[in-house]
A = this chain, B = another copy of it.
């Protein structure tokens, strides 16, 4: 693969590289790691790349790689830049025949997202949006249980993503991660709700298979001087009658990434927490609740869950393994597609990205109208 972004000091670029490397199926062969060619070179060197394949810009990378023999050139492009720099390389890559892995949210604005979906459809390229939490084995188990009807009709979904790291004016300190995430020029029209609210929205729709129909949102910026929201609470109504609540916050002091989802159906309920990702609590009305555990050896799990684990139960798999599942599935789909064989798309795609941008738009719009209901 070839990488766009992910130079020195980047958090998510390294995550993508580790995730891609884990299963020994994907090799990083080139990159345009920074808009500063010197920094890009430096990154490439530390990654043991051929210096001829460390590029000064994504345009250069895509066009030069395209000209290389098929056996040599990168198979796909991985985009790990801030939000405002997703669209251009994704477009160029697909238009030049490359599949794309892209960090979330899909891009800067709803317009861009709609364009991207169009380009995906026109070029026939594969597009994987790294809503990485969908890669956890117990999230897959939850999705499969809902799909199989084990919960009955879904009634209520509560999804929350509290973080505490932006409880203070961290962006004022020059911290890079805080900087771009709170900057409307780079993040888009939403802060917290775009950065992590979209994860929560995606997870709720991914597991439940239901679409949010309308929502009422109350966004707040608690920290003085901050330019975007750092907290949001959203009432949800799903197609088909389920109700829900979504909470995302970056001022929940003392919380890390406490992403948690609870789904209640007529027959059973589910609860999953990202901080202990290998357990899924299955709730019942007339018998004891159960602790489902991730593990390749647990015959009671659905194949969709087992195939997302690498090792037997009791060896905790975490964030990187979940992330790696998306890369593994994407690479497999890409290979099968290239071989003309049928393939599964078990990973989030540009359509999910478009949902995310619609979510951001609807939330911001609702909040600006004092939490009126807005269709998504």
Q: How many copies does the complex hold?
A: 4
Q: List chain B residues, Cβ under 8 A from A245.
A: 233, 245, 247
The listed residue (B155, B295, B314) touching A163 by CB distance below 8 A is B314
Q: List chain B residues, Cβ under 8 A from A33.
A: none
A231 CA to B235 CA in the complex, in Å? 13
Q: List chain B residues, Cβ under 8 A from A291.
A: 288-291
Instruction: Check if B318 sits within 8 Å of A317, measured CB to CB.
Output: yes
* Closest Cβ–Cβ distance, residue A34 to chain B (whole Å): 18
A220 adjacent to chain B (CB < 8 Å): yes
A295 CA to B295 CA in the complex, in Å? 25
Chain B, residue nearest A48 (CB): B24
Contact A168/B285 with A18-B23, A163-B314, A290-B290 known, Cβ cut-off 8 Å? yes
For window 344-376 of A, CB contacts with B under 8 Å fall at 370-371, 373
Chain B, residue nearest A151 (CB): B253
The listed residue (B15, B156, B162, B312) touching A252 by CB distance below 8 A is B156
For window 214-271 of A, CB contacts with B under 8 Å fall at 216, 218, 220, 222, 231, 233, 235, 237, 243-245, 247, 249, 251-258, 262, 264-269
Q: Interface code A1-32, partner B: CB below 8 Å = 1, 0 otherwise?
A: 00000000001001101100111100010000
Q: List chain B residues, Cβ under 8 A from A24.
A: 17-18, 21, 28, 47-48
Most B-side CB within 10 Å, residue of A23, A163, A243: A243
A320 adjacent to chain B (CB < 8 Å): yes
The listed residue (B14, B17, B269) touching A255 by CB distance below 8 A is B269
Q: Interface extent on A, as a size class?
A: 35 or more
* Closest Cβ–Cβ distance, residue A6 to chain B (whole Å): 12
The listed residue (B243, B253, B264, B312) touching A267 by CB distance below 8 A is B253
Q: Interface code A310-321, partner B: CB below 8 Å = 1, 0 otherwise?
A: 111111111111
A14 CA to B156 CA in the complex, in Å? 33
Instruction: Check if A293 sits within 8 Å of B286, measured CB to CB.
Output: no
Chain B, residue nearest A283 (CB): B254
* Closest Cβ–Cβ distance, residue A252 to chain B (whole Å): 5
Provide the main secondary structure of the chain A interface: loop
The listed residue (B48, B256, B284) touching A295 by CB distance below 8 A is B256
Among A57-65, A198-206, A273-281, the one that faces the other chain is: A273-281
Q: List chain B residues, Cβ under 8 A from A252.
A: 156, 262, 264, 269
Instruction: Check if B164 sits within 8 Å of A275, measured CB to CB.
Output: no
Instruction: Check if A288 sits within 8 Å of B290, measured CB to CB.
Output: yes
Sample 9 A-B pairs with CB under 8 A, ordered by A number: A18-B22, A156-B251, A156-B252, A216-B216, A254-B268, A256-B295, A286-B299, A290-B290, A318-B318
A residues neighboring B (CB under 8 Å): 11, 14-15, 17-18, 21-24, 28, 47-48, 155-156, 158, 160, 162-165, 167-168, 216, 218, 220, 222, 231, 233, 235, 237, 243-245, 247, 249, 251-258, 262, 264-269, 274-278, 282-293, 295, 297, 299-300, 310-321, 370-371, 373
A-B pairs with lowest CB-CB distance, top 6: A254-B283, A256-B314, A257-B314, A316-B318, A315-B319, A318-B318
